[in-house]
Amino acid sequence: MDEPLNLVLFSGTDDKLQAAAVLTAGAAALGKPVNVFLQYWALDAFTRAKIGLDHGLAPEAGEAGRTAVDALAKAGQASWAETLRQAKDLGTVDIQACSLSMDLLGLEESDLDPLVDGVEGVTAFYLNAGEGHVVFI
């Protein structure tokens, strides 16, 4: 359990981000360090301007999926952002923005929510990943 879990987040829909948050919190609860690397639409979802908004669901969710997710939110289920904040309190979770995706989306570091710890390139991501798993979400 010493090697980190390394999550590359690409998708920015609320269902995939919630799945990623649950995988992060579970690893943190087990004492496993987690490195999160934000690309493309996932990075967009972590901006100050957008982190609190509705980011939609994967197209396959359909009407029934939308209803289920809305019902849980109304019942007070933690959002993926809240789940990640709790995971950071629980264990070692480092969240980095991909520098290439920052350029793509025209973002400055000050545009990012404080959940994001910094900006790095893909080579730095690999070096931090060590021998741990890499999971693309």
Q: Which residues bind its own copies (CB under 8 A)?
A: 5, 8, 10-13, 15-16, 19, 22-23, 25-27, 29-30, 32, 39-41, 44, 55-56, 58-61, 65, 68-69, 72, 98, 100, 103-106, 121-123, 125-127, 133-137
C-alpha dist (Å) from residue 68 to 60, 63, 73: 13, 9, 9
- What is the nearest approach in angstroms of its own copies to the Cβ of residue 112? 16
Of 6 and 116, the one with the shorter C-beta distance to its own copies is: 6
Rounded (to 5) percent helix, strand, coil in the chain: 50, 20, 35
Beta carbon nearer to its own copies, 39 or 116 = 39
Name the phi and psi angles at 26, rounded to 5: -60, -45
